[in-house]
Amino acid sequence: MDYTRAEIIIECKNHLKKISKKSKKRLREDIDKRNYLISLLYFKFKLTEETISNFLDLNRNTITQAKWQAPFFISIDDISFIANVNEYLIKYPFEFPTKEQVSMSRILKKKTSVTVNLHLNVYNKLKNYAEINDLRSDKAAADLLTKALKIWVE
């Protein structure tokens, strides 16, 4: 079943309105539903914590904690959580990543530095390329290397 980011945001806002009309008690059922929707926005639709916070008018610290609730409780088959969010599990299915998968993807995206010794004529060409493209020399070197590797792979 396909669903959009806008549908999830609307669903979450409607749910938050229902919660606010109730007493100020933090019932687990209500919090679990909210957290499931927040997790969807963060993991499926790749929204930042700040963006979710702004959309839902919630404190960013709330988002930081809430985003991991659904993946964690689903991964350990928490019966209460699954019962509380069952309608959303059916309506908005999603396979959440584990913390290990998220950590590994972050590691793979990190940049690594490499020290290279260049002949003066190659360094001068690099400096010229950097000036023409309004880049620092390290960024210019990375840009050229990336372009060369793309050509090499093809």
Report DSSP letters for 11-65, one per residue. Answer: HHHHHHHHHHHS-S---HHHHHHHHHHHHIIIIIS---HHHHHHHHT--HHHHHH
**Domain layout of the chain by residue ranges:** 5-109, 120-153
pLDDT at 138 over 70: yes
Count the neighbouring beta carbons within 10 Å of the beta carbon of residue 13.
14
Selection from 21-25, 100-104, 127-131 with the highest mean pLDDT = 127-131
Global pTM reads 0.64
pLDDT digits (tens, 9 = 90+) for 5-43: 888 888 888 888 777 656 567 788 889 999 999 999 998
pLDDT digits (tens, 9 = 90+) for 39-58: 999 988 888 999 999 988 88
Mean pLDDT, the chain, rounded, equals 86
The proportion of the chain whose per-residue pLDDT surpasses 70, expressed as a percent, equals 90
